């Protein structure tokens, strides 16, 4: 089941509670631009909608907190795509929980998440390759490769080029969006 509620400005916690109980088979949810619900509502949603594969939270500044991201990492292990663009409450610790809690994650948008530092990049790099660069060789050419295929880290200010390079060398199968990253 797919649901697009983007820019539904009156979408609040009660709406998310209702979705949680009425749409347990939800696989795709776009609530980008919705600013009236809290992280508690989002946490509640993840406890019941565990089949989510695509979740768009772009611009959901109030709800995309570390607590909510921890809940996503714990409850949404089938997640393939997560958009956290312009959610400036997102920090390193919870990106780490996403990296390890969502093994099927292939697309992660962190555009404008300015609190993310090198620590998150190192966590993403190590979680995706299981610390073995050699596992990539037998997978070359396969359609169902492990790890992130797309990582948008544009509009960052705190990332260093060495952290980005570390990720790129450990995850050769993805396509980075590096706009705004300073060169060394």
98, part of any domain: yes
Please state which of the ranges 31-35, 37-41, 94-98 shows the lowest mean pLDDT: 94-98
**Mean pLDDT over residues 98-120, rounded?**
91
Domain-located, residue 99: yes
In a domain, 36, yes or no: yes
Closest listed residue to residue 32, CA positions, set 48, 9, 66: 9
For 19, other C-beta atoms within 10 Å of its C-beta total 21
From the number of C-beta atoms within 10 Å of its C-beta (0-12, 13-18, 19+), residue 178 rates as middle
Question: What pLDDT is stored for residue 171 in this prediction?
Answer: 67
Residue 150 lies in a domain: yes
What average pLDDT does range 22-30 have in this prediction?
97
Residue 6 lies in a domain: yes
pTM tops 0.75, yes or no: yes
Task: Tell me how many domains the chain contains.
Answer: 1
Confidence (pLDDT) at 146: 66
Domain of 113: which CATH number? Answer: 3.80.10.10
Whether 35 is covered by a domain: the verdict is: yes
Span 39-49, pLDDT tens digits: 999 999 999 99
Residue 150, beta-bridge partner list: 107, 175
Residue 140 lies in a domain: no
Per-residue pLDDT tens over the stretch 130-181: 433 444 444 444 444 567 888 898 887 688 888 888 877 776 555 555 555 5
CA-CA distance, 67 to 40, in Å (whole number)? 8
Is 136 part of a structural domain of the chain? no
Whole domain around residue 112: which residue ranges? 2-130+146-170
């Amino acid at each position: 089941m797919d649901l697009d509620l983007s820019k539904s400005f009156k979408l609040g916690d009660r709406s998310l509670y209702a979705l949680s109980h009425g749409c347990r088979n939800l696989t795709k949810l776009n609530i980008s631009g919705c600013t009236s619900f809290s992280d508690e509502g989002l946490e509640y949603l993840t406890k019941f909608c565990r089949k989510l594969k695509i979740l768009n939270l772009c611009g959901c500044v109030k709800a995309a907190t570390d607590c909510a991201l921890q809940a996503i990492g714990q409850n949404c292990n089938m997640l393939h795509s997560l958009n956290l663009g312009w959610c400036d409450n997102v920090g390193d610790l919870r990106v780490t929980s996403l990296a390890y809690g969502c093994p099927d994650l292939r697309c992660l948008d962190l555009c404008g998440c300015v609190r993310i530092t090198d620590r998150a990049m190192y966590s993403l790099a190590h979680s995706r390759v299981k610390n073995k660069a050699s596992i990539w060789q037998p997978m070359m050419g396969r359609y169902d490769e492990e790890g992130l295929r797309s990582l948008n880290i544009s509009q960052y200010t705190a990332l260093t080029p060495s952290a980005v390079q570390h990720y790129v060398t450990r995850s050769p199968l993805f396509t980075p969006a590096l706009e705004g990253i300073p060169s060394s």
